[in-house]
Each structure stands twice: as structure tokens, then as C-alpha cells.
Chains A and B, each alone.
Chain A
């Protein structure tokens, strides 16, 4: 198993190397349906932006910015900078910038993942920093004097050593990593260190702003950068060429509880290898759901066998049960390190790989209802009525004791036994 994974990783790496050497930058949306950002307020922003900046200027500016990017080191921050310059305005307001980005999305020149990356990059670089904590007498600095001197030395080198060759987010991640090698640093430690370094003029105001903004935006956390995203998509498209070009799905742009689309979450949280492993589970599920014959073979000591064919509904429930088992096993896979992907992540992964058609996603997604049914108001209420009802049967004196009993019988009669849903005549 480990050897197979190693081979797969090696293959992916070689494919990636091949792709990067030959790739052309393109973030055209080829998977997402109605955008998460397709809202009334965002459309207003697009309209008001288009009154000031012509649509062709926005598109040309984006294309120019994209052409200036190096596919080996594509950077959202640099792309934003060139893009904003190309809009030809003395000052591009936040609303105009967002309106331009949403316009690019509306034209499918970029997808929601890229919109999110570019907006986050813009937000990070335009974040206002309030230096109101200049009272260094209360400031606690981490580490020893020597350790701090080493930290200051790294800060001094931020622009030359880290930012020089890397995108801002990558640079900060590397820098943060090196800093933590010297001493483990909390967010508050970093805040104090940056302030201290700035006040000592170890770092200029400009570098201070860069570091503090990166800290406030939590850039050191592993989140998807434009380069990561580009690499992942390039790898996946080479490994799994899409059967139909530009097949859009609204399912993958549905927002979850943290206002991220299934696709944004997938590409932010999982590597290309993980996405492949996840997508293949749904491929297997689909095959099982479509299968007209599933049998259990029983071997005895002499090797003779008994073949037990499954009935259609048994096949269906078998397919779901084995999927759940495989999902649990996936979490134990070394690639996932105990992290259990959700069923929606698997569905999004299978679509990303082109293993499942966009028109099938809603139905596949709805299967989760079977093992994870939504609780209705009545289900929730019945739980409490049951709990209080069983106490009330003892507490309430006659002749009113029948009331809680009546309620309990009514609940049992209407809800039935949920755990014993399928008749015993079924194998699964």
C-alpha cells in the first residue's frame, strides 16, 4: 500500500514537473456554476464599477497581469498589483477593485477559488494597522536576548532573503517557519517582536507593515495560494482529463456553514493526491450503485462455494455501507493523518476529477440523508416529550396520569422504531 502511494506520488511529481515546464497560465472557470459571489450587492458593485471602468479595460488589465506572471511562481499579490495598475485609475477604491474581480468571475475568466484568493490578497495588503500599543514598558518579549537578536536578524532579511524570490504569502510562511525554529512564537509574541523591531529601527515602517499585515491575516497558516491552486489544478487535469470541457455545476458552488463553497473548501484543504483518493471512492460508489449484480461468495473447507446474490435494495444499501467503511478507512490512510473527509468533500472531489457528471451531483449528495437524516422539528420535540413523559407518568397523579402515557404512545405510533427501519428479510 505504502509502495503504491509512493509510486503515485512520484508519478504525480513527474507529471507536475512536466506540466510546469510546459504550462500556460489560465484560471478560466471550467467547473463552477452559479458563483457564490453572484449576489445582489456584488452585482451592484459590478454595475457601478463598469460605469467608471470599461469592461474591456478590466479584461485586458487582467490578461496583461496574468501574462506577466511566471507559471512557476504565480502570485496573487503581484497579480493584484499589476491588475490594479492596469485599470487606469488614479486611485482604485475597494468597491471598484471588488467590482472588477466579480466582473471577471461573471465572465468565467476566473472561478470562485481564484476570486477568494485575490480578494484575500487584496484584503491583506490593504489592511489598516493601528499602532496604538506603543507602550513598551508592558511589552513581554519572548525568548532570551540571544534568541531575540537572531529573530531581529531574520526580520531584517525579510525583504531580501524571503520576499525577493517568493510571493508575499509564501515568503511569510518561510519566514514564520524560520522564526519558530529559533523559539516557539505565539501571535502575541510576533506582534510584540514586530513592534519592538520597528521601534528599534531594525525594520523599516514598510517592512513592519508587511509583517504585521501578514500576521493579522494569518498567512502562516496553510491555506491555498494562487500557486498551490494552479499546481493542483494542472496536476489533476493531466491525471484526469475532463470528459466534457466547461461542464459547470451549481452543486460545487453551494456555500457551507463557513461561507465557503464545496470546491473552495476542497481545494483549500486537500492536496491533489488526497483529492484523487477521495474522488475514487465516489467512482466506486457510482459503479456499485449502477451494478446489476452483487454476490456474496461463501467458501467451505473443500473450496466449494455458495453464491448469495443480493436483491436490488440490498445492493443499494450495501453500496452505501461499504462507502461509509471506506470513508472511515480513508481517514486512517497516511495521506490523511486521521482527518476524516466529509461526504460532500468526496462528491466535490469526484466532480473535480470529472469522474461524475455535474448533473448527478445533487442526487449523489442527497444520499447522505440516508445515513445522516436531518432532524425535523417534530423529531427534536419528540425527544424531549419522551424524556419528560417517562418521568411524568410517575409524577402526575390519577386521573390525569393517562396524559403523558397517551403522548408516549402517540410518539411511538407516529415515529416508530428508527433503528429497526428495514424489515428483517433484507440482508443489509
Chain B
């Protein structure tokens, strides 16, 4: 009887719970839908505490209970579900020993504190953070301040409606403005040239080339163009989006992206955000989601542009800077190189992390890493390397 009780106890201790929850999912055509799914590997019967992930609220160390408010449960279930999916991808598809060996990861929802390398959570007085997510490296804690050591964690910030004017996102508008300005200058120059030639002809010949009707037409067209140019800000204001919010815990690709940071962290340290580390995480988020676009078609939770790997962006020097870490240039670059590599591209990209660091440059170590990895792993190294070089050359790298 004692033995039987022991076996029962042992089996209970190893058992995992399967609970059904409503989560945010993607449909076949990549649209946002709600689905009921069974969460795998839960170790608790009443909270989001699983074998590999523990979902907590804010700075708490306790797992979020299933009977918390509906919005929080939706976020917890969605993050738990997609994190499990992402983990399975790295373990099963890429046979990652590193990911398999990882300790349970704490996932914090609705946390507004900034990250502190020493104190885990920066003081509440620091500016609160919204509309993003981040993965933090493990820390040793600070015994003198009673700060316990912590492992790798993923933090999802709360969503907050922010007016776009308060954000520095004017790059695309500047591009449009530049084109419009060039157009305006050329038209004005052309009008001026024509006016001069008509004036000279009128003076030097008996013909009145510069008649009143012609002059009025010229002035009218010029004024009309100038009015259109001057009013572009008003037009932009009327027709463009004004508010921005991002509920990162409810966007599957953002969850994949953050987990990819964890999975790549054996080589790409989580110390800071750089174009390389973000691009690599974007690539795997896209692959896990089986989509070259990230965080698109989900306007309920994200009103920003998302990322697109198929965008034909050419290289610019500023892409090397951390200010541009979240553009989709590296994502697109890796995605297109993946197409060249072919069927083993995901294993190839996972191997690539061994050749680069968080601080690698795109033009230097990333390209070198791609070529070195290809020499080692491509099925036709010489041909594939040439194809990669041609692709990179076309991207003006």
C-alpha cells in the first residue's frame, strides 16, 4: 500500500494539466482570430505555471491564477500558448539542445518598470514603459538590497493609446515630403524658364507671346501647386492615423520574436537592442509564424506598421546604428538569404548565430557570418555563396 501511494504521489508530481483557454491566433490567411486551445505542460491546476513558462503579473513572483480578470487571462493564455509553440519549434525543428536545457522562464505581463541590470526592476519613479516587449538577461541579484537572482525573463508592457505626434516616426513622411518638394521645385523651374523665354520673345519680336491669358494661367498653376505643397501637413493630419497602441502580449509574432531572443541568447547576448539581434529574432518570429510579415493585420492590438521581409529596402549606413535596430532591413535580408539557401535555411540561420555577436555590424560580421556558414552548411557552397553575394550586392551592401 505504501508503494502504491508512493507511485500515485510520484505520478501526480510529474503530471501536467491540460486546460482549454481562449487565445489570439492567426487564421490561414494570417488574420487575427480567437481560438480555444489546450495549454500544454501546465504544472498547476489553477494558475499559469507550466513546466517551461510561468506567467506572472507585473513584479509578482506568483503565477497568474486562472480566475483573474478576463483580459489578463486572455493575455496570459495567449503568451503561454505561443511561447510553448515557439519553444517546440526550436526543440523539435532545430533540435536546439540549448533551448531544451533552459530553465523555466518567467513571463511578466503589464510590467511598466524599466529593466535594471543590478536591481532587476528599475525604480517606479523612472518613466513607465508601454507598448512594447523585451527579453532580459539573467541577473545575479543584489544581496545587500535583498534583490534575489533572476533568470531570463520576457516582459510584456501594457498597451497605451499614444498620440503619434509624441513619437519620432517621421521617416516615411519625410520621404514623401522630399519627393513632393522635388516635384514642386521642378515645376516652378519649368514655369520660370517658360516665363523668361516668353518675356524675351515679347521684347525682341513684335509678337506678344506673353499675353495676359498665358500669364494668368502660369500664375494660377503656380499658386495652385504652392497651395497643395503648403497644405500637405493639413492633408496628412486629416487622412493619416493619429493614435498608436500596441498590446504586445496579444500579437503572436511579437511573442515569437521575444522567445527567439531567448533561444538565440547562447550566442547573442540580451544586453541591448541592435540591428543584428533584432533582425535574427524577427527572422525566427517570421519562420515560426510561417509569414514574412510581422504584427500586421492585427489592428485591434497593433496600429503601427509591423514588419515586412519582402520589402525591397536598400542598405544605408544608418542601419548599422542602434537607433535603427527595429527597422526590417536585417529581417528582409535574412529572409531573402534564406530563400537562396533553400530547404535547410532555418537550421542555417540558427547556425549563423555562432558566427555573430549582438554587436556585429551588418556589412562586416553578419555578411561574413552568412558566407562562412554557407561554406560549412550549404548544399552547393560555391554556387550558394555567389548567389548570396549577388543578392547582397543588389541590396547595395
Candidates B193, B217, B224, B397; contact of A313 at CB < 8 Å: B397
Q: Is B199 part of the binding interface, using a Cβ–Cβ cutoff of 8 Å?
A: no
Does B363 interact with chain A (Cβ within 8 Å)? yes
Residue A394 at the B interface, CB < 8 A?
A: yes
- Point out the residues of chain B lying under 8 angstroms from A286, CB to CB: 382
Chain A residues in 8 Å Cβ range of B36: none
Binds B, one of A118-126, A164-172, A267-275, A405-413: A405-413
| Least CB distance, A310 to chain B, in whole angstroms | 11
Question: B179 an interface residue at 8 Å Cβ cutoff?
Answer: yes
A399–B190 contact, CB under 8 A? no
B389, A405: Cβ atoms closer than 8 Å = no
Q: Which of A409-425 contact B (CB under 8 A)?
A: 409, 412-413, 421-425
Nearest-CB distance from B193 to chain A (Å)? 6
Q: In the assembly, what is the distance between CA of A421 and CA of B397, in Å?
A: 10
Chain B 166-204 interface mask (CB, 8 Å, partner A; 1/0): 000000000000010011001100110110010000000
Q: Among the listed stretches B93-101, B102-110, B128-136, B364-372, which one makes contact with chain A, having 4 or more residues with CB under 8 Å of it? A: B364-372
A366-B384 Cα distance, complex, nearest whole Å = 12
> Within 8 Å CB of A394, what residues of B?
190, 193-194, 197
Contact between chains at A313 and B190 (CB < 8 Å)? no
B363 touches A311 (CB 8 A): yes
Given contacts A359-B380, A363-B386, A363-B387, whether A312 and B367 have CB atoms under 8 Å apart is: yes
B residues less than 8 Å from A402 (CB atoms): 183, 187, 221, 225
Residue B12 interfacial (CB < 8 Å): no
Indicate if the CB atoms of A397 and B364 lie closer than 8 Å. Answer: no
- Cβ contact within 8 Å between B179 and A399: no
Instruction: Please pick, from A370, A398, A424, the residue contacting B217 in the complex, using a CB distance under 8 A.
Output: A398
- Interface contact A370-B390, CB-CB below 8 Å: yes
Chain B residue at minimal CB-CB distance from A286: B382
Alpha-carbon gap, A311 to B363, bound state (A): 7
Does B315 reach chain A (CB closer than 8 Å)?
A: yes
Contact A317–B393 (Cβ < 8 Å): yes
CB pair A399–B220 under 8 Å, yes or no, is: yes
Contact check, B383 vs A399: say whether CB atoms are below 8 A apart.
no
Select which of B191, B316, B363, B392 is within 8 A of A398 by beta carbon: B191
Inside 8 A of A366's CB, which chain B residues have their CB?
386, 390
User: Is there a chain B Cβ closer than 8 Å to A241's Cβ?
Assistant: no
Is A367 within 8 A of B368, CB to CB? no
CA distance A312 to B194 in the complex (A): 51
Residues in A255-298 with C-beta less than 8 Å from chain B: 286, 289-290, 292
Among candidates A357, A359, A401, A425, residue contacting B363 with C-beta atoms closer than 8 Å: A425
B214 on the A face (CB < 8 A): yes
Given A367-B386, A405-B183, A425-B393 contact (CB < 8 Å): no
Question: Does any Cβ of B come within 8 Å of A360's Cβ?
Answer: yes
Instruction: Give the Cβ gap from A78 to chain B, nearest Cβ, in Å.
Output: 44
Q: How far is the CB of B181 from chain A (nearest CB, A)?
A: 10
> Is A364 part of the contact surface with B, judged by Cβ < 8 Å?
yes
Neighbour of A409 across the interface among B179, B363, B368, B393, CB < 8 A: B179
Minimum C-beta distance from B139 to chain A (A): 36
Q: List A contacts of B389 (CB < 8 A).
A: 289, 312-313, 316
User: In the complex, what residues of A have CB within 8 A of residue B317's CB?
Assistant: 423-425
Cα–Cα distance between A16 and B227 once the two chains are bound (Å): 83
Judge whether B392 and A313 touch: CB under 8 Å.
Answer: yes
List chain A residues, Cβ under 8 A from B224: 399
What is the CA–CA distance of A398 and B221 in the complex, to the nearest angstrom? 6
Q: In the complex, which residue of chain A has the Cβ closest to the Cβ of B217? A: A398
Q: Which A residue's beta carbon lies closest to that of B389?
A: A316
CB atoms of A423 and B396 under 8 A apart: yes
Q: What distance in Å separates the Cβ of A87 from its nearest Cβ neighbour in chain B? A: 44
- Which residues on the B side are within 8 Å of A399 (C-beta)? 217, 220-221, 224
A387 to chain B, nearest CB (A): 16
B218 within 8 A of A: yes
CB distance from B123 to the nearest CB of A (A): 41
**In this assembly, does A333 line the interface, its C-beta being within 8 Å of a C-beta of chain B?**
no
Instruction: Give the distance in Å from the alpha carbon of A422 to the alpha carbon of B183 in the complex.
Output: 25
CB distance from A170 to the nearest CB of B (A): 42
CB-defined contacts of B190 to chain A, threshold 8 Å: 393-394, 401, 405
- Residues in chain A near residue B217, CB distance under 8 A: 397-399
CB distance from B226 to the nearest CB of A (A): 12
Chain B residues, CB < 8 A from A408: 186
Minimum distance in angstroms from B218 CB to a CB of chain A: 5
Residue numbers in B under 8 Å from A401 (CB-CB): 187, 190-191, 194, 221
Q: Are B382 and A360 in contact (CB under 8 A)?
A: yes
- How far, in angstroms, from A422 to B392 measured CA to CA in the complex? 11
- The residues in B between 211 and 246 inclusive whose CB is less than 8 angstroms from any CB of A are 214, 217-218, 220-222, 224-225
A413 to B368, CA, bound (A): 31
Closest to A289 in B: B386
A312-B368, A422-B396 are contacts. A409–B218 as well, Cβ < 8 Å? no
A113 to B222 alpha-carbon distance, docked (Å): 69
Tell me whether B393 and A370 are in contact (CB under 8 A).
Answer: yes
Q: B364 to chain A: which residues have CB within 8 Å?
A: 311-312
Interface string of A128-166 (1 = CB under 8 A from B): 000000000000000000000000000000000000000
**A425 to B383 alpha-carbon distance, docked (Å):** 27
* B386 neighbours in A (Cβ, 8 Å): 289, 363-364, 366-367
Q: Which residues of A have CB within 8 Å of B225?
A: 402
Most B C-beta atoms less than 10 A away, residue of A393, A401, A413? A401
The answer to whether B187 and A397 have CB atoms under 8 Å apart is no
Distance between A374 CB and nearest chain B CB, rounded to angstroms: 13
In the assembled complex, how far is the CB of residue A281 from the closest CB belonging to chain B, in whole angstroms?
A: 17
Residues of A within 8 A of B368 (CB): 292, 311-312
Bound Cα distance from A401 to B214, whole angstroms: 13
Q: Which residues of A contact B390 (CB under 8 A)?
A: 366-367, 369-370
Complex Cα–Cα for A367 and B392 (A): 13
CA gap between A287 and B61 in the complex, in Å: 58
Q: Which one of B193, B371, B380 lies within 8 Å of A312 (CB-CB)?
A: B371
Task: Kindly list 4 other residue pairs between chains A and B, CB separation below 8 angstroms, not including A401-B190, A402-B187, A426-B397.
Answer: A313-B367, A360-B382, A393-B186, A405-B190
8 tightest A-B CB contacts, nearest first: A398-B221, A399-B221, A393-B190, A363-B386, A312-B367, A363-B383, A398-B217, A405-B186
Q: What are 10 A-B interface contacts by the 8 Å CB criterion? A: A311-B364, A311-B368, A312-B371, A363-B383, A366-B386, A399-B217, A409-B182, A409-B183, A424-B317, A425-B317
